[in-house]
Amino acid sequence: MASTSQSLYLLFMKQILVLLIFILPITISCHPARESLNIIQIDLKSNGECEGTCLAFSLTIYNDGRALYIPDKLSNSTQLQTFINKEKMDSISQLISIQNIWNLQETYTNPRTDLPTYTLTIRLKNDSSKTITDYGPSGPEALKKVYARLLSLKQSQEWRPVN
């Protein structure tokens, strides 16, 4: 009887050991945890260096909700600003976290020519940052979802000229 309980105990301990050695490290990442992603700034830029049909702009969003949109110099448009409410800011942060941006490549390319290049930079409170340069854009669907959310702000927010 003691032999059976010792065998069960050893089996249980082996399972715990396997959990600690193999499973736990997979769930712990060296990147920020999803729930503790403390974004202080998001920058999305498009160089617009294609044959005149690509938008060139810079969109900067700060963690307090301030946002600045700077159109390309050739459009003669003025710089615009808005304030993004906390719910939208939280949803943007959550989207960035859910799409696991921190684990994406830093560069995406496309064999075609005459396409815009997007550069996305996310800065965190702990001084870490992630920059992705995406020509085409040709990055994965996760990245395109983040672009779509950020670019939708141009239509969904009330923008005013910067004084």
Per-residue model confidence as pLDDT tens digits over 124-154: 999 999 999 999 889 999 999 999 999 999 9
| Structure confidence at residue 6 (pLDDT) | 63
In this structure, what are the phi and psi dihedrals at residue 76, rounded to the nearest 5 degrees?
Answer: 60, 20
| Structure confidence at residue 29 (pLDDT) | 43
> Could you give the strand order of the β-sheet that contains 117-124, starting from the edge strand earlier in sequence?
107-108, 129-135, 117-124, 39-46, 57-62, 66-71, 80-83, 160-161
Q: Closest Cα to residue 144, out of 154, 129, 153, 134? A: 134
| Structure confidence at residue 95 (pLDDT) | 95
| Structure confidence at residue 17 (pLDDT) | 42
| Structure confidence at residue 55 (pLDDT) | 76
Q: Cα(126)–Cα(68) distance, rounded to whole angstroms?
A: 23
Q: Cα(59)–Cα(144) distance, rounded to whole angstroms?
A: 16
Residue type, 12: F
Strands, E, within the chain: which ranges? 39-46, 57-62, 66-71, 80-83, 107-108, 117-124, 129-135, 160-161
Q: Output DSSP code: residue 13.
A: H
The low-confidence residues of the chain, meaning pLDDT below 50, are: 16-20, 22-36
| Structure confidence at residue 27 (pLDDT) | 41
